[in-house]
Structure 1
């Protein structure tokens, strides 16, 4: 079992890496990191001394003064190198650099010089080093106006604002889940690579990405329809988009009921993709679920009885409660990385329709059990 520490553990990429490593407790143990360790030599040394692998992600991306970015990022690397030397560490250090290394800006310069400093440490100390040069990263929970233009577009489209394109160039992109898997692959290989260029998984014009997101807004955000998703990039972009909703105020979404003397008719879901549709009854007091998915798209539709649907993003404590009543049929969709459940809180049987975008495969279930 490898003991892995992540500087920047709570950041965009760091939190995804930390949570994904947690899915494999038989292979990896994560060593806790706090931001203030860089301000406390004793704590930093203790952290470094425990690690077989250190993934250095902590960095500043944006600041009004580029000199502040440059000095901050190099200072973090120098402190890490000093701690590695003091603890006589032979850890495998992976460093997150940027495709901006070759551009004439201080952020790119800080990344290139930081990578070179760590490579020098590894050569002198006998440690291992992988200097990963990473393209533009997007995915769920990135900060708008900070991590990615996709995060900015998603936030604006789901919060009543209009995205603006500053430069409609082609952008090489990698989904954060794909990057995390690449990092894990490098951890498992344990090889020294002073310069390792992580390949992008898609190349898109900014306007093409915005067009897709505007389509998701019209079909899904406004009308609840699952759009056509033809490529892996489309799935990743759609799952990213879904994570920017103001979930507390968006759900539950009531269905349109058509009634006549015969009874009522409700369209539960309109699909641009396939999947698996299931029906369940739940007796009073029983709870189903308490699990989360990292890629699946899922809808719970209550058509009879009273239900409490609960969601919690897995690395937070806030529980979101949604009360649904079959007298006014409604649905809640499950964002990825949110553990969720459904409980019958009524006195009669609860009838629920479940839809998920891929048939259940026990060998690749993408279902991880965790109490809400």
Structure 2
């Protein structure tokens, strides 16, 4: 399908276009403020669907609202009429179209122009009133408070919140793109005459600030967000997209001695802890057991043996492991266990335990295998 996307370099436009390209079945006409104006007439002749995403959010002068949100919409629709092209048109509007402010009034004027166009031409039109969109490629101090918070927190800049209890509705860009693709396929979500995105999350500004701040702190605490919570998962992905390019990495604390090292990698509140264990040749580590704590060992480099002995028996069980054949070994409770490096080079083991270490409740008892 031949698809015209206005506002192609904007937040929604970028995300939509890359997904349309992923489908590898569309010819995309990308139009933005720096595109030669004469191309718009050509695109309006050829287009089979129009995503009209162009608009003005934060101009230097309020008069630019009406010119950008109503004036350009009218120009686009006139070009479609001149080309006798009645293909479907989707308009990106805002919940502020209900409000009596310059931005809202300009958005409402654009909606009215599109509705009048539909009555005149019979073309299918879809008006989406979006609210507080967020995600990768959004602009701080322009698109949403999420972008501003992510950008500033990642750079240790001050965040000012006048009313932490104020509630806002957030809509993630991937959910927006999914809905726009549904619209393209003739299956839009419509309620009371307006298109909408089903996935909306409500959060206070104070909670939003604290949550994004916790993502920055997680590099020190090694904790992961609550990823089964949609808003937290999406906000975390968004925050990472705002990291300064020289700060993608961060160091871990390595506990090093003559035997090798042990380094904690990740912690979670309900999914345990992941660590990396490095053993020197000939070194044996472990010789302890647990009541409830259980582990999984995965040797990813080197060769070794994991030994078990049920604490009330004399029988020793051995599992030989190697990075050449990845194999997970479960460490059951009630068995004292150790791991020995049998090779000539360092042995690297990924270790998962079902609960993060608590020095007040270690549940670890030292007994030789």
Do the aligned partners of residues 32 and 67 (structure 1) sit closer, same or farther apart at CA in structure 2, a change above 3 Å counting?
closer
Matches within 5 A, 1:281-360: none
2:115 and 2:187 map into 1 onto residues whose CA distance is: 14
Contact 1:132–1:195 (8 Å) recurs in 2 = no
Matches within 5 A, 1:29-108: 29-37=27-35, 40=37, 42-108=38-104
2:87 and 2:137 map into 1 onto residues whose CA distance is: 30
**In the TM superposition, what is the alpha-carbon distance from 1:262 to its structure 2 partner?**
1.3
Instruction: Report the equivalent of 2:174.
Output: 177
1:240 and 1:84 map into 2 onto residues whose CA distance is: 36
**In the TM superposition, what is the alpha-carbon distance from 1:212 to its structure 2 partner?**
1.0
Do the aligned partners of residues 12 and 272 (structure 1) sit closer, same or farther apart at CA in structure 2, a change above 3 Å counting?
farther
The alignment covers a number of residue pairs equal to 284
Equivalent residue in structure 2 for 1:260, among 249, 257, 262: 257
- RMSD over aligned CA atoms reads 3.2
Q: Which runs of 5+ in 2 are unaligned?
A: 277-299, 302-344, 353-369
**In the TM superposition, what is the alpha-carbon distance from 1:225 to its structure 2 partner?**
3.1
**Which deviations, in whole Å up to 9, do the C-alpha atoms of 1:258-304 show, x marking residues without a partner?**
12121222223223465999x9xxxxxxxxxxxxxxxxxxxxxxx98
Equivalent residue in structure 2 for 1:115, among 101, 111, 114: 111
Larger of the two Rg values belongs to structure: 2
1:30 and 1:148 map into 2 onto residues whose CA distance is: 27
2:187 and 2:228 map into 1 onto residues whose CA distance is: 35
Matches within 5 A, 1:171-250: 171-189=168-186, 195-199=193-197, 201-220=200-219, 222-247=220-245, 249-250=246-247
Instruction: Report the equivalent of 2:2.
Output: 3
1:273 and 1:45 map into 2 onto residues whose CA distance is: 57
Do the aligned partners of residues 132 and 237 (structure 1) sit closer, same or farther apart at CA in structure 2, a change above 3 Å counting?
same
**Which deviations, in whole Å up to 9, do the C-alpha atoms of 1:37-87 show, x marking residues without a partner?**
4x62x3111111221111111111012321222222222112101210111
**In the TM superposition, what is the alpha-carbon distance from 1:195 to its structure 2 partner?**
3.4
**In the TM superposition, what is the alpha-carbon distance from 1:36 to its structure 2 partner?**
3.4
Contact 2:13–2:53 (8 Å) recurs in 1 = yes
**In the TM superposition, what is the alpha-carbon distance from 1:167 to its structure 2 partner?**
3.8
Instruction: Report the equivalent of 1:132.
Output: 128
**In the TM superposition, what is the alpha-carbon distance from 1:125 to its structure 2 partner?**
1.8
**In the TM superposition, what is the alpha-carbon distance from 1:232 to its structure 2 partner?**
0.8
**Which deviations, in whole Å up to 9, do the C-alpha atoms of 1:218-250 show, x marking residues without a partner?**
113x45432233411111111111111113x21
Instruction: Report the equivalent of 1:144.
Output: 140
Contact 2:189–2:195 (8 Å) recurs in 1 = no
Equivalent residue in structure 2 for 1:162, among 158, 162, 167: 158
Contact 2:180–2:188 (8 Å) recurs in 1 = no
SS at match of 2:185: helix
Q: Which runs of 5+ in 1 are unaligned?
A: 280-302, 305-347, 356-372
> Could you tell me the TM-score, scaled by structure 1's length?
0.69
